[in-house]
Structures are given as structure tokens and as C-alpha cells.
């Protein structure tokens, strides 16, 4: 098990940016719930592609999704307890934890796909230097 924290942070940043764009562009509705999986898929794929191997990709993709979602949830819960009260915060925490568990699965799956695709790339020609 090899955790690349740079890949996890990059996957989180991509997922957060995509989440912000999606939340600004789409109204909340029944079909927009499906768009909530897109940041987990894209962020998990990016984190997985930055490492090699499907198992390491799944771990890094899942961590990018879960750690990012937990950071955002903690921020929202602190703001909500200050503004709305304790009952609303408990409801939000329950829904948020459920959403995190649901998003971890597509994040890990996309990370596994990204790590597998990186392993399947065509090798560089002999004598070629790779950018670092």
C-alpha cells in the first residue's frame, strides 16, 4: 500500500473545483443528484492516474474523495452549528456522512481505473528522457 499524498491532494483539488463549478451551474433538483458523483469520479481518476497500479490507484482515489469530502463537511458543520443550531447540524452530518460513504466507492473505482490505465501506457522509447 503506497499512498502518494501529492496525488491525493491533487485529486481533492480537482474534485473541489469541479464541485464548485457544478454547484454554480446546475440548479438543485432530482436529476442534479447524479452530477454529485462526477467530482468523485474525476478527482479519483486524477489521483489514481498519478500513481501506478490499480490497487494503489484505488487507495489514492478513494482517499482523495473521502478526505476532501470530510474537510468540506467539517467546515459546513461548523458554520451550520453557529447559524442554524444543533438539530439541523445533526441532520446535515448524517446526510453528509452517508454522501461521503457513497462517493468513496466511485472515487476508488475511478482511481483504480486511472492507475490501471497508467500501467497500460506505451513505454517511452529507449534513450528518451521523461519529464519530472
CA distance 84 to 118: 46
* pLDDT > 80? residue 30: no
CA nearest to 9, candidates 58, 50, 38 = 50
pLDDT of residue 128: 63
Q: Which residues contact 90 (CB under 8 A, 6 or more apart)?
A: none
- Radius of gyration for the chain, computed over Cα atoms and rounded to the nearest angstrom: 17
Residues in the chain: 132
- Picking from 42, 80, 88, 74, the residue whose alpha carbon sits closest to that of residue 61 is 42
Rounded Cα distance between 100 and 49, Å, is 21
pLDDT tens for 39-98 read: 888 999 999 999 888 888 899 998 988 887 888 888 888 888 888 888 888 888 888 888
Note the pTM of the prediction, 2 decimals: 0.77
| Banded pLDDT at 28 (limits 50, 70, 90) | low
Amino acid at each position: 500500500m503506497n499512498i502518494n499524498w501529492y496525488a491525493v491532494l491533487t485529486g481533492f483539488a480537482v474534485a473541489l473545483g469541479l464541485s464548485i463549478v457544478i454547484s454554480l451551474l446546475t440548479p438543485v433538483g432530482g436529476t442534479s443528484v447524479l452530477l454529485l458523483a462526477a467530482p468523485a469520479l474525476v478527482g479519483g481518476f486524477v489521483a489514481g492516474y498519478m500513481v501506478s497500479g490499480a490497487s494503489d490507484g484505488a487507495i489514492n482515489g478513494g482517499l482523495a474523495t473521502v478526505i476532501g469530502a470530510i474537510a468540506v463537511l467539517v467546515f459546513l458543520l461548523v458554520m451550520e452549528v453557529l447559524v442554524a443550531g444543533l438539530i439541523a447540524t445533526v441532520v446535515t452530518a448524517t446526510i453528509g456522512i452517508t454522501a461521503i460513504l457513497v462517493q468513496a466507492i466511485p472515487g476508488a473505482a475511478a482511481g483504480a481505473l486511472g492507475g490501471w490505465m497508467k500501467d497500460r501506457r506505451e513505454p517511452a522509447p529507449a534513450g528518451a528522457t521523461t519529464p519530472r
